[in-house]
Amino acid sequence: MKWSALSLIIFLSACKSKSPACFIDATDILKGGQNKLIIVRDSGYKVAALYDEGWDSLKGGAYLFYPTELLKSYTFYQNRQAVYNETYDEHGYLVHSQGSPMVNRVINEINLDTAYVEVFFYNSMKTYQDLVVQINQNPPVHYTLENDTLFANMKSVTFGINISEMDKINMYSRIVYTDNCTKIEHVLSDSLFLIKDPHDGLIPASSK
């Protein structure tokens, strides 16, 4: 079974008057693209938009740009819904942010004994520390994020869970990151509660 969850974190609301300008342009985004981006140009051959290659299925990132090629907005879509957004004005100021840069979390149940967890973090202008995960009463485990192979400007981590002796999974995660523009440190915390159903495998605890 493949089970996907969105972060419950409501991220920051940016304040234009207090945040410094972040001059993110198309070149900056393409550097983190590693040939994973579809380029759309305007009549003057300026970059007007960039899309993750899988965006046609409405899962992935969409970047829109001003005529100056400065970033206007970034939106990540998951299951046809916009789950994270950053919007900038023409002078490079972040004027709106909604959702969490932890844009996706997927649990793949391989069999009755094993599950794999994938977590994705939008990485542009952000520096992440290790992801700390605690499952049930087990000691916390630290995981180092790696450059994702599917989405541009994305960090991800994959780890396995032995669920053979578990009838439930209470998973708590925490990660600290620094905004490279404002130099402000942020903490993302998240929790997930699943139970093991003999017929349906891992399901949300709230459904029982």
Confidence band of 201 (pLDDT split at 50, 70, 90): low
Q: Which among 76, 169, 77, 57 has a CA at the least distance from the CA of 116?
A: 169
Within a domain: 143 = yes
132 and 107 assigned to the same domain: yes
Range of the domain at 60: 26-99
Within a domain: 63 = yes
Asked whether 138 and 161 are in contact (CB, 8 A), the reply is no
68 and 161 assigned to the same domain: no
Q: Which among 126, 115, 175, 181 has a CA at the least distance from the CA of 154?
A: 126
pLDDT at residue 80, rounded to an integer = 80
Question: Which of 7-16, 63-72, 184-193 ranks highest by mean pLDDT?
Answer: 63-72
Mean per-residue pLDDT over the chain, rounded: 86
Backbone phi and psi for residue 170, each to the nearest 5 degrees, phi listed first? -105, 105
Provide the CATH number for the domain around residue 186. Answer: 2.60.40
Using the 3D structure, point to which of 69, 99, 129 is the last residue of a domain.
99
**Mean pLDDT in residue range 85-92:** 95
Residues 6 or more apart whose CB falls under 8 angstroms from that of 25 comprise 65, 68, 69, 70, 71
Q: What is the tally of structural domains in the chain?
A: 2
165 and 130 assigned to the same domain: yes
Choose the weakest-confidence range: 6-15, 79-88, 133-142, 183-192: 6-15
92 and 152 assigned to the same domain: no
